Structure 1
Amino acid sequence: MLPVTVDTVRLALHILGATVWVGGQITMLYLLPTVRGLDEAAPAVVARRFNQIAWGGYALLVATGVWHLLVIDVGDRTTAYHVTLGVKLLVVALSGIGVAVHIVGRSKVALAIGGALGFLAAVAALVLGVVLRG
């Protein structure tokens, strides 16, 4: 059997966070038309419940991302790596900000822009994470 290391655990936790944050958003997008048909208040109730786990996934992503940055030697990385990392950190922040705007938004425009920004930035962060991992 291959060894399970601290690095393995860190990466697994990071992937778990991404599964909850990004995968949860995809699931919510898919379920939303059905939830809307249940009751007028149902989307808000489901969204509040989802937020309880989604923000935990986001926090896990940020925590394990910081943990990763603390243990790797970024000084040995190329300029392209640093640029990619900077863009990833930006889209991680934009994802959180977009979702927060979606949560507090009251207009359809705020809900749409916040939701779209939160989701697209989350997917971008996921892709850039794979690029950085190599």
Structure 2
Amino acid sequence: MAQNIAAVGLAAAFLALAENKDFVKDKIEGLGEVGIKKLSLAERDAWLNAADDSTAILIQGTVCDPETGELTLKSLTKEQIKGIPAPIADELVKKIYKHNGIKTVAEVQAEKEAGQEPTELKNSDPTEA
């Protein structure tokens, strides 16, 4: 019986996480105040599997209303998102990476040069870089 309660508690915890209410408010010059959410598994997979639209997919899956946390760019096409100025997109991506704990190639390289081993995901292939 206790095992079933624990399983239900764990399932409830997963469902609560799936609501993905974890976001931060930030200000982007030229855009104003935005919210930036954590990537869900589905959004991360879409971003990792994208070829030409990866930045647009990343922005679309993370930029949200700074008050409610609701994704605000889901109704826009990838082409519309790709029309934003590059400096604004670059600033958004930096903040998205920071909030999601994603390191850039430059950050990983700097860690290597400083003698630190970069943290790898458990199932990542160290030959892919």
TM-score using structure 2 length: 0.28
Q: Which has the higher contact order (CA 8 A, sep 6+)?
A: 1
Structure showing the higher helix proportion among its residues: 1
